[in-house]
């Protein structure tokens, strides 16, 4: 029999206020955009390695199907642009008693086919910024007490479009550049480790939407990127912007310098 992922209901309890000796010891992660692609793969690997994972996405049916039958995963479908949904997510994290990893993976590519930046309507730009910048900052602010207390890691998925000037990628790239800056500023202001990571091209639905009609079967799978992301968690690597493909080399350099 297939087991459905757990859909946690809010409560008034605040396990984050427990005495340290009463707090859970199993690490907890919140991963946004967990229904497809890199987010789904990351959730699966974290849960398989003993983490308790909370994940969210807009499409409830897709989110539940993505994690059906897997233990250690709590799904909370909803729209991150909603303050009520962000509050509900924060409450779910509190009920888990700790937060060791916050991953901002949910993204909005914007209108497709990708238009020149001057052709992006203001309301379209607003939507991209709401999902890719405003919601992550707002959600992080709700979770800072737990994240700081538990020496958690703040991880935001970036893009090479944040630092390169590709035609058609202006809205998305600008939002990711701003998210990079916000992530590292939040980390600096709160003595956290913060990482903005460019995963590189991947064989995902979003990448296909950006290149309609193009064969992307030669792109790396999302699963191949996950080990690079997970290597950051115990690493102690300095906060910063990294390419996933370079993380292993960065860890070697950091280790040699110690």
Show the tokens assigned to 21. Answer: 């000796």
Tell me whether residue 4 is one of the annotated catalytic residues.
no
Catalytic residue among 172, 175, 195, 239: 172
Show the tokens assigned to 235. Answer: 């690493």
Q: Give the chain's domains with CATH numbers.
A: 21-257 (3.40.50.720)
CB under 8 Å to 152, separation ≥6 — which residues? Answer: 99, 100, 101, 102, 146, 192
Helices (H), 19-164: 37-48, 60-67, 83-96, 122-129, 135-149
The mean pLDDT of 220-244, rounded to a whole number, is 92
Percentage of the chain beyond pLDDT 70 is 87
Rg (CA), the chain: 18
pLDDT in tens, 14-37: 444 555 556 789 999 999 999 999
d(CA 58, CA 121): 23
* pTM score of the predicted model: 0.88
d(CA 250, CA 243): 10
Q: Contact 80/133 with Cβ under 8 angstroms? A: no
pLDDT in tens, 171-193: 999 999 999 999 999 999 999 99
* pLDDT value for 13: 43
Tell me whether residue 166 is one of the annotated catalytic residues.
no
- The helix (H) or strand (E) run that includes residue 244 is none
pLDDT in tens, 61-104: 999 999 999 999 999 999 999 999 999 999 999 999 999 999 99
Q: Which range has the worst mean pLDDT, 195-204, 210-219, 248-257? A: 248-257
Tell me whether residue 172 is one of the annotated catalytic residues.
yes
Q: Contact 103/155 with Cβ under 8 angstroms? A: yes
Catalytic residue among 16, 41, 107, 158: 158
Catalytic residue among 107, 159, 175, 176: 176
pLDDT in tens, 104-119: 999 999 999 999 999 9
């Amino acid at each position: 029999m297939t087991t459905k992922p757990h859909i946690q209901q809010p409560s008034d309890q605040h396990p984050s206020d427990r005495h340290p000796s009463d707090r859970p010891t199993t690490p907890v992660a919140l991963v946004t955009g967990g229904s497809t692609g890199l987010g789904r793969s990351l959730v699966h690997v974290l849960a398989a390695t003993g983490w308790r994972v909370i994940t969210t996405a807009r499409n409830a049916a897709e989110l539940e199907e993505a994690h059906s039958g897997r233990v250690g995963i709590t799904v909370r479908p909803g729209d991150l642009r909603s303050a009520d949904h962000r509050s509900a997510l924060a409450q779910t994290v509190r009920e888990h008693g700790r937060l060791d990893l916050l991953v901002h993976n949910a993204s909005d590519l914007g209108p497709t086919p990708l238009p020149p930046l001057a052709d992006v309507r203001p309301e379209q730009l607003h939507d991209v910024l709401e999902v890719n910048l405003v919601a992550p900052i707002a959600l992080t602010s709700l979770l800072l007490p737990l994240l700081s207390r538990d020496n958690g890691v703040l991880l935001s998925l970036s893009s090479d479009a944040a630092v390169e000037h590709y035609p058609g990628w202006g809205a998305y790239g600008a939002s990711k550049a701003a998210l990079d800056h916000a992530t590292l500023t939040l980390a600096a202001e709160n003595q956290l480790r913060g990482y903005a990571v460019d995963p590189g091209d991947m064989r995902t639905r979003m990448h296909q939407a950006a290149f309609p009609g193009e064969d992307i079967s030669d792109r790396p799978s999302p699963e191949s990127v996950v080990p690079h992301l997970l290597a950051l968690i115990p690493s102690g690597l300095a906060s910063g912007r990294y390419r996933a493909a370079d993380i292993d080399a960065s860890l070697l350099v950091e280790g040699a310098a110690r």
